[in-house]
Amino acid sequence: MDFNQLILLAQGADGAEQTSPFSGMMIPLAIIMVLFYFMILRPQKSKEQSMRSMIENLKEKDRIVTIGGIHGIVTNVQRDKDEVSIRIDESTGAKIRVGMSAISRVVTDEDKNEKKNEKKKN
pLDDT digits (tens, 9 = 90+) for 83-104: 999 999 989 989 999 999 999 9
Cβ–Cβ < 8 Å for 81, 99: no
Distance, in Å, from the CA atom of 64 to the CA atom of 85, rounded to the nearest integer, reads 11
- Phi and psi angles of residue 63, each rounded to the nearest 5 degrees, phi first: -90, 130
| Pairing of β 71-78 and β 95-99 | unpaired
Distance, in Å, from the CA atom of 88 to the CA atom of 68, rounded to the nearest integer, reads 13
Residue 23: its pLDDT value, please? 73
pLDDT digits (tens, 9 = 90+) for 32-52: 999 999 999 999 999 999 999
The DSSP H or E segment spanning 83 is strand 83-87
